[in-house]
Amino acid sequence: MADKKQYFGTDGIRGKVGESPITPDFMLKLGWAAGKVFASETGQRSKILIGKDTRISGYMFEAALEAGVTAAGVDINLTGPMPTPAIAYLTRTLRAQAGIVISASHNSFEDNGIKFFSEAGTKLPDEIELAIEEELGKPLTTVEPSRLGKASRIDDARGRFIEFCKSTVGPQFKLAGLKVVIDCANGATYDIAPAVFSELGAEVISIGTSPNGLNINDHFGSTSPDALSKRVVEEQADLGVAFDGDGDRTIMVDHLGNIVDGDEILYVIARERRRRNIDIGGVVGTKMSNLGLELALADLDVPFIRTAVGDRFVLKEMLKRDWLLGGESSGHIICNDITSTGDGIVSALQALTAVINTERPLLDLRSQMRKLPQSMINVRLTSTFDLDSNQIVKSAVADIEEKLGARGRVLLRPSGTEPVLRVMVEGEEGGAVAAFAKELSEIVLQEVAGSD
């Protein structure tokens, strides 16, 4: 078996619809390959769950995957449009061998992709992804007609997930008296999130809940929270909650319209757990997590550690340390004592427990963490530039880190999607941070030019 993946990235397979590998013929083969792998995992008849977000291309890929999986002799349960974390939950509770989500998360409708979940509701381990890729290299064959898989729809998938979300805050928890604006990005949470918050007693105003297949993440949702901020102020709401297209991220807004990002939500949740003497072990963030989060958690005596960017790495570190809370500034937050993957609705509800239990507005709760100024500049790279061995850049980084002291940091991170180096500086004073970032990016640019 090959040890390097050709198709799977850090979050499944993703790309532009119609361009390889995001094509109907590839999805047919992918469904078959996955079916072959999961059929071989057990001697009994296997079952795979398939859900999707609201992209128009989801219907096309759902049909292709269905054909491939059933050709491999594996049964299918179809949920229709559902948040990604709902598929993780339902895969686990319905005892399926795997779950498949057709989604490109926070990307626009032109893109689509595939995410897989194991029977435990977690991302697939590398060896399973490699096994699927190995099957992709083989000719597609169909099982005997009597062994073909059967497809059926789960009619109560929506209700099951709504009840699960409500159960995560307990039967006594109520949002009565709270006015909340919910932004669903015209995505997979469009008819679930409003119902969850409404059934918990909140007065709900919904935006981004009219998907047409083409408007997912379009000027709405966690990646475009300006519409939510404006509406919260207009409605004089207590707060706002925005999800991304597949519902695994959340960004919040306080009653003044200020955006509360994933780092601040993590802090609010961690602080509330600490106040209630719930042992979370520590918090896992990423290299991009704001230094203000690390410093604020230190004030609470909560350990903090960083990983590479990506929820896969965050969860891996959480499991390694047996810590219960982790996430990214993008709003992808994992509460591992509640569910097995990032869940926007669950994360928002966990933050709201702090609002309800302390009877304090979100503005007050988030203000106890001071986000430090951050400046990031992208420098275009060439194939000949070797960052790891460049002593001039390393010396410049060390010099700036010494000037920043313990309340500042420097991060050089190659982009995973384009040939650029992200030069990021963080510190106490915004002007100095911007100047240091400019100085360092110019040094990197000179060294890149000199490497040609």
Q: In this structure, what token pair is assigned to residue 380?
A: 């275009």
User: Do 299 and 439 fall into the same domain?
Assistant: no
Q: Is residue 42 located within the same domain as residue 134? A: yes
Within-domain flag for 163: no
Instruction: For residue 105, indicate whether it is catalytic.
Output: yes
The helix (H) or strand (E) run that includes residue 98 is strand 98-102
Number of structural domains (the chain) is 3
Query: How far apart are alpha carbons 169 and 107 in whole angstroms?
Result: 30
Active-site residue, selected from the candidate residues 46, 57, 103, 105: 105
Nearest to 169 by CA among 342, 339, 327, 362: 339
**Count of residues making up the chain:** 452
Q: Residue 190: what pLDDT?
A: 98
- Nearest one of 146, 151, 164, 89 to 119, comparing CA atoms: 89
Q: Decide if 160 is inside a domain.
A: no
- Per the structure block, which two tokens stand in for 116? 């897989």
Closest CA to 161 of 68, 46, 83: 83
Residue 137 and residue 174 share a domain: no
Q: Over 80: is that where the pLDDT of 3 sits?
A: no
pLDDT at 42 over 60: no
Phi, psi of 12 (to 5 degrees): 85, -150
- 226 with 349, same domain? yes
CATH (domain of 425): 3.30.310.50
Burial class from Cβ neighbours inside 10 Å (0-12, 13-18, 19+) for residue 83 reads buried
Tell me whether residue 8 is in a domain: no
CATH classification of the domain holding 333: 3.40.120.10
Of 154, 176, 191, the one marking the end of a domain is 154
Q: Using the predicted structure, report yes or no on whether residue 296 has a pLDDT greater than 60.
A: yes
Range of the domain at 216: 168-367
40 plus 60 within the same structural domain = yes
Q: Looking at the structure, tell me whether residues 220 and 357 fall in a common domain.
A: yes
- Co-location of 207 and 329 in the same domain: yes
Same domain, 143 and 196: no
Q: Global pTM?
A: 0.92
Task: Say whether both 427 and 281 belong to one domain.
Answer: no
Reading the block at residue 232, the tokens are 């919260």
Are 175 and 108 members of one domain? no
- With vertex at residue 431, the alpha carbon angle to CA 428 and CA 435, rounded to the nearest 5 degrees, is 110
Instruction: Give per-residue pLDDT as tens, 327-386.
Output: 999 999 999 999 999 999 999 999 999 999 999 999 999 999 999 999 999 999 887 788
| 154-190 tens-digit pLDDT | 999 999 999 999 999 999 999 999 999 999 999 999 9
Distance CA 286, CA 330 (A): 11
Tell me whether residue 297 is in a domain: yes
Residue 429, burial from CB neighbour count under 10 angstroms (0-12, 13-18, 19+): middle
